[in-house]
Structure 1
Amino acid sequence: MGALIWLASYPKSGNTWMRSFLHNLFRGTEEPVHINEIADFCLGESSAHWYAARAGKPVSDLTEEELARLRPIVHRDFTTVFPDSVFVKTHNYLGEWCGVPLHSMDVTAGGIYVLRNPLDVVISVSHHFNKSIDESIEHLANEDTVAGDMETHVLEVHRSWSTHVRSWTQHPSPQLLVVRYEDLLHKPRKYFKQVANFLGLKPAPARLERAIRNSSFRALKNMEQKSGFKERPKEAESFFREGRSEQWREVLTPEQVRRIIADHHEQMERFGYIPEDYRDAVPVKAEPSNATG
């Protein structure tokens, strides 16, 4: 039996990229591992077939409470897939749902959390879920956000972007590595090496470089264009769209930028996501009163 290593993120923040990098790193092949083979390496926490097998019926027939009670059982089933570490993708926030933890810590060894600037996330969410930018801004701020078609995927509990980020990062732990999408993008050798070292790996420089190259945005997009990607939602034209940072400067209006900052300024401040030219959009904290009554 193995212990779970969660690969966690808010949707459209780099989870697939991280999974592809690790798959290529462990395989060590000259050619890129195909994106449709990711599931052979990393399990999906919300994949419905695990829950249906345990319930003995389609997950669409389960109540939310029944589904929540199944989660810890399914997580224990995950530990039987590989003898050592078992990587599991999750978009759930780190908390409870229907009174049951969304991640079972008694079978967990650790986790990697990838976060991305919400100013760019909102654009990717817009394309991924076929929403307008304004609808996507509301989506990121919605504490009731859940996703899942209850046929191929059970419900995922995302909450807002800020709640998601806070839940995973507010209590630093040596068992959890937090990494920014932008750092992986701009300094891949440094930060992907950090990921490998966190997992106890010391890959040769050539192997690390090859894994980075084989999981690059260009490589992933080429594979999707040639043979498709089974994780692409039906409403999206493509899963891998641009993969750049700072897209928001070309897409969002100043008013939209200010709305996002107003919604998420606390976590954006923590991770260096407040643009210098929008510092005035950060709400001013009220000074404590010195009145004695």
Structure 2
Amino acid sequence: MTTATLAESHSIASSLGSLALGDNEFEFLRDFVYQYCGIVLGEQKRQLVQGRLLRRLRALGLKDFAGYCEILRRDPQGELGELASVISTNVTSFFREMHHYDLLVDELLPRWLEQKKKDGGRLRIWSAGCSTGEEPYALAMVLAEALERTGSKVDARILATDLSPQALEQARAATYALERMGGISEARRQRWFLRGEGAYEGYAQVHPRLRELVTIQPLNLLHDWPMRGPFDAIFCRNVVIYFDKPTKQRLFDRYAGLLEQGGYLFLGHSESMYGLSDSFDLVGRTVYRKRA
């Protein structure tokens, strides 16, 4: 597709202002999103999808939603990440649902590090649906602190994945506005962030030590997973709320297959595994342990 001229872009933007997402296009998008992302778009989401997609149409220089649907038909994978960014809400923060991190610090990390120091094993945590990176870097903070506290040389890593290319770009940049760092204690800000100056005044970047612990990769949870595991813990918080029951069941079964025996799965505060899997026991607030 050729890039629109400035005049053409202005004309397109003006014409898009009153454009409505028609029934045929919305039905196509609903089917497409469910097939490729596992996300159910109800009728109540139509206005939200319409408003967010208008920005994408402007970026692509398209005149209507039919043209966007045609792009999806021709090259589903090429536009999939951008569409996922449009329809999902990347709301996240550092140390969101602090009780999960308390469990890691007080119980799980000391136990895992001690055991792996004895048997030479690896420690692996997966942030599935990492969004813009706050979750995996918060995990890296408590992991790095546990490694320092125990003097452990354990091979420990965090995998962070997401479908949204925009979210992954921010996560890789690891640079955050200071107002987004409210969940971080002053001591941790001093220890794990580099304060920006000049053009970066008002921002801070994650310390290289933490960035070394985190591997960031694109991944569609509905497609093949290249990693073999096993993982000691998987964080999949505020992700499955978008999925229907069969998709959740398949996802939880796949998580169970990648977790260590006795490994932990962390869900979001409004999510539950009740009636969806026989592979886990509820052991805390939205914390599940894989059965032996």
Q: Quick check: which one's strand share is greater?
A: 2
Above 0.5 in TM-score? no
Question: Which has the greater radius of gyration?
Answer: 2
Identify which of structures 1 and 2 has the higher relative contact order when contacts are C-alpha pairs closer than 8 Å and 6+ apart: 1
**TM-score tier (shorter):** under 0.3
The two structures have a TM-score, normalised by structure 2, of 0.26
The two structures have a TM-score, normalised by structure 1, of 0.26
